[in-house]
A = this chain, B = another copy of it.
Amino acid sequence: MAPTMTETAFVPRVDEEDLLRMMEEVASYGATADEGTHRLTLSVEDKLARDWFVRRAESEGAKLRVDRAGNMFAVFDWAGPDAPTIMTGSHLDSQPNGGRFDGALGVVTGWAAASALEKARLETGVVPKANLTVVNWTNEEGARFQPSLLGSGFHAGVHDADFVLSRRDGDGVTVAEALGAIGYAGSDEVPLADALIELHIEGAEGLERTGRRFGVFTRFWGAVKYRLAFIGRQAHTGPTPMADRRDALLAAGHVVVGLREMADRGGLDLHTSAGRLEVRPNSPNVVPGEAVLFIELRSAVPEILASAERELNERIAAAAKSARVEFEIRSIDRRAAGSMDPRLVQLAVEAGAAIGTETMKLDTVAGHDAISLASRIPVVVVVVPSVAGVIHHPSEFTSVEDRLIGARALTEMLRRLCFEDGFPRGETGT
């Protein structure tokens, strides 16, 4: 399309130093000795990161909204209540002893893009066609509270407030109590946006192995997550005859081994895992009376996922029988496989081209907050490389250059949505 006077003048520029500084500041909240991040959702460290988000919103002149799940929204009310709202951002919580970039980079680049756009708007006087919101979702990781994607699930209407607020961590603390303790128990009702773009680190080697610097997820894998309890009987590991034992950990061991067998047989289309195991009373000389296992099955193919879930149930029953214990499936979370909005995918490709990089199309196996909202609004997740595909580990790293590429591409996508064509009411121009 032919450039207009306004477009010629309106050139948002990402402030490289600010981008670097923001990343370092956020990484300082919950920094670990090995350059990782330990910033569990709604912890003291998370409060510090949230306070930073508030200060940033204030200094940028955005209005802060905090909803009942503690999700934080910094709203640039550029175009008025009748105009669409474009949302970007990610999450500031981390895994236990996790990395600096997972989630945080999406929030930081969201701010970098918003600041670049706001500065250009103020300098040019151009009137945007959409409003912009930078978001920080609560408990994306699902490390402290389950399920993961809790805040975005609330925003999407998947979970109601009672459900969210009553989730308990391993110490029995509820989300409501944790929100209150750090001063982020909000009550704002925040309407759904008209589009959501989340920037994230890739967490695999798709970009790195092909030498690309920017990507867009086109499909997301489905997931089935079980919280499974085996209930045996605690007893002395010495005198109790082997035949009398009801060993909850033994049953869990069978399932852990079985999950891997399923994946090995399932080929590349099935991922299985048991990431968390709680053993009680967890004393060296007590036969475990309870073992709670957190299981995940993931696939892009619904039939494979359903078949794996059936096999999992058979294996659970067999493991319980073999160890002479009972079992309870305490929760099941299912996330359907699906696709990102094709217009937003195309927008990512064009934005990449506009800043001089090739956009690689990829699948995502991991969950993302944007995926929580995929059934409600147009969403897309764009990615930059993480070195060696590392994620959920202290050594997570995204180069300064790749952070900047991500911020520039995101800025360009938001520029087109907020200042050019509007989305999705108008044509996106893509």
Instruction: Give A contacts to B, CB under 8 Å.
Output: 95-98, 141-143, 146, 148, 202-204, 221, 223, 225, 227, 233-242, 244-245, 247, 249-250, 252-257, 260, 263-264, 268, 271-289, 294, 296, 298, 323, 364-367, 389-393
Contacts of A260 in B (CB 8 A): 242, 247, 250, 323
Residues of B within 8 A of A284 (CB): 142-143, 146, 148, 225, 227, 275-276, 294, 296
Q: Which residues of the partner chain B approach A252 to less than 8 Å between Cβ atoms?
A: 253, 256
Q: Specify the chain B residue showing the minimal Cβ separation from A278.
A: B282
Are A275 and B264 neighbours in the complex by a CB distance under 8 Å?
no
Contact A96 B253 (CB under 8 A): no
Contacts of A142 in B (CB 8 A): 283-285
From B225, B234, B275, A287 is in contact (CB under 8 Å) with B275
Residue of chain B at shortest CB distance from A288: B275
- Note all chain B residues with C-beta closer than 8 A to A285: 95, 141-143, 148, 273, 275, 296, 366-367, 392
Q: With a CB–CB cut-off of 8 A, which chain B residues contact A238?
A: 203, 221, 223, 271, 296, 298, 364-367
Within the complex, the shortest CB–CB distance from A374 to chain B, in Å, comes to 16
CB pair A273 B204 closer than 8 Å? no
Q: Which residues of B contact A389 (CB under 8 A)?
A: 239-240, 244
Q: What residue of chain B has the Cβ atom nearest to residue A238's Cβ?
A: B366
Report yes or no: B225 in contact with A95, Cβ–Cβ below 8 A. no
Could you say which residues of chain B place their CB within 8 Å of the CB of A221? 238
Would you give the shortest CB distance from A368 to chain B, in whole angstroms?
Answer: 10
Q: Of all chain B residues, which has the CB nearest A266?
A: B242
Q: Do A242 and B254 touch across chains, with their CB atoms under 8 A apart?
A: no
A208 to chain B, nearest CB (A): 13
Pairwise interchain contact B392-A234, C-beta atoms closer than 8 A: yes
In the complex, the answer to whether B97 meets A281 with C-beta atoms within 8 Å is: yes
B249:A264 contact, CB within 8 angstroms: no
Specify the chain B residue showing the minimal Cβ separation from A295. B284
Q: Other CB < 8 Å A-B pairs besides A238-B367, A249-B277, A275-B282, 13 of them?
A: A96-B282, A148-B285, A203-B239, A234-B393, A237-B273, A238-B364, A242-B260, A242-B264, A250-B256, A253-B256, A260-B323, A275-B283, A285-B392
CB distance from A425 to the nearest CB of B (A): 34
Contact between B264 and A257, CB atoms less than 8 A apart: no
Instruction: Report Cα–Cα, A247/B259, bound state, in Å.
Output: 12
Min CB distance A311 to B, Å, is 16
Of the A-B pairs whose beta carbons lie under 8 Å apart in the complex, a sample of 26, sorted by A's number, is A95-B281, A96-B280, A96-B281, A97-B234, A143-B283, A203-B236, A204-B241, A223-B238, A234-B392, A235-B392, A235-B393, A238-B296, A238-B367, A240-B271, A242-B260, A242-B263, A242-B268, A242-B271, A250-B260, A253-B253, A253-B254, A275-B285, A275-B286, A276-B282, A283-B392, A287-B392
Knowing A256-B253, A277-B282, A284-B142 are in contact, say whether A204-B240 is a contact too (CB < 8 A).
yes
List, in ascending order, chain B residues with CB within 8 A of A392's CB.
234-236, 283, 285-287
A264 — which chain B residues lie within 8 A by C-beta? Answer: 242
